[in-house]
């Protein structure tokens, strides 16, 4: 089997470390592995396939000989370094917001639009975590009955804001007087309806991302999306309450059938037996979990869904590596 030289940029972050774990779990055909950081001296020694890997300095000329770059360092760093990686022949899969809405950059969820990978010009964007899990569940329904409108409310875990946010929740849970730093208010025993920066239309950037990215991934500007994104005191895995309106009726039974057959989806749906997805069950898992499937009785063609996924895995690291696997499969690397 052909081997590929891989670089992980942003190894100190939770997503970068998850990428390292998943490459190993999935036996990705890695030849040389480079893990990069702006501050390599602050990094521990990493282990991969029985080898010790030391972080190297992120630099403009650090990508010579690298086939695939997995980036998750922050948008400003991707903006600076991705063009240099591409210039040296590296295909970059970028997990930041920097290139997602660039019309020349495919925005990919492999279960939804793998064909878009072929159009890459050296960069493939990984969508926002909350968008990924939603479109994985919407895709089989949209294929059966085109979706007209989506109303989504998210319940996003603190890990989406990084390791310091996890620490903040843990400290505030033990001591309610611990002051907020990563969030606008205390996050323990609380919910905060504010993720990312406010926009001129009174939505937040996180909410706008979900609107724009959904239409781009599904290649359908006729899908109208409105979102409210909320931070909740959960360590890992995002949850979403999603209401959709379709062009023709999808019964609960048909939705169960479509979702049960969909790639990357696990259906857990038996309310009478208290069976539905919860974040603790999704943590550390690869699939997107769907439950509480029911027809919206206020409109003719409506459905309600509850969607849960591990935001560090399917919402970030796993999706990026699945893109890399599909890249290899399509011989587009």
Q: DSSP characters for 229-269? A: EEE-S-SS-EEEEEEEEESS---HHHHHHHHHTSTTEEE--
Q: Is 60 a catalytic residue?
A: no
Residue 87 backbone dihedrals phi, psi, to 5 degrees? -60, -35
Q: Is 238 a catalytic residue?
A: yes
Beta bridge partners of 265: 288
Nearest to 135 by CA among 117, 152, 156, 158: 152
Position of tokens 């990069």? Answer: 36
Distance CA 264, CA 19 (A): 18
Active-site residue identified among 90, 129, 142, 229: 129
Give the list of residues 6+ apart from residue 279 with CB closer than 8 angstroms, or none. Answer: 157, 234, 235, 236, 237, 238, 239, 308
Q: In angstroms, what CA-CA distances link 131 with 108, 137, 201, 214, 271? A: 11, 10, 20, 6, 26
Position of tokens 């970059």? Answer: 92
The catalytic site residues sit at: 129, 238
């Amino acid at each position: 089997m052909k081997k590929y030289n891989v670089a992980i940029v942003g190894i100190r972050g939770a997503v970068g470390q998850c990428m390292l774990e998943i490459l190993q779990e999935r036996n990705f055909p890695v030849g040389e592995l480079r893990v990069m950081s702006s501050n390599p001296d602050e990094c521990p020694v990493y282990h991969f396939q029985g080898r010790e890997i030391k972080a190297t300095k992120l630099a403009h000329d650090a990508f010579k000989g690298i086939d695939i770059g997995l980036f998750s360092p922050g948008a400003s760093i991707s903006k600076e370094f991705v063009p240099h990686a591409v210039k040296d022949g590296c295909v970059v899969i970028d997990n930041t917001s920097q290139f997602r809405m660039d019309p020349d950059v495919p925005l990919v969820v492999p279960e939804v639009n793998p064909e878009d990978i072929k159009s890459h010009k050296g960069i493939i964007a990984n969508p926002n975590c909350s968008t990924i899990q939603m479109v994985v569940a919407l895709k089989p329904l949209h294929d059966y009955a085109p979706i007209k409108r989506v109303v989504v409310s998210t319940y996003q875990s603190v890990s989406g804001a990084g390791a310091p946010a996890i620490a903040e929740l843990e400290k505030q849970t033990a001591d309610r007087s611990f002051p907020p730093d990563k969030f606008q208010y205390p996050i323990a025993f609380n919910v905060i309806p504010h993720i990312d920066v406010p926009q001129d239309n009174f939505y937040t950037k996180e909410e706008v991302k979900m609107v724009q990215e959904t239409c781009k991934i599904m290649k359908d500007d006729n899908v109208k999306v409105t979102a409210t994104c909320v931070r909740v005191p959960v360590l890992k895995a995002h949850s979403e309450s999603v209401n959709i309106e379709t062009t023709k009726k999808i019964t609960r039974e048909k939705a169960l059938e479509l979702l049960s057959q969909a790639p990357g989806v696990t259906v857990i749906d038996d309310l009478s037996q208290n069976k539905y997805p919860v974040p603790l069950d999704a943590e550390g898992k690869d699939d997107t979990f769907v439950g509480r499937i029911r027809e919206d009785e206020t409109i003719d063609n409506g459905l309600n869904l509850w969607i849960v996924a591990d935001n560090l895995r399917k919402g970030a690291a796993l999706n990026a590596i699945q893109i890399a696997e599909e890249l290899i499969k399509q011989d587009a690397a």
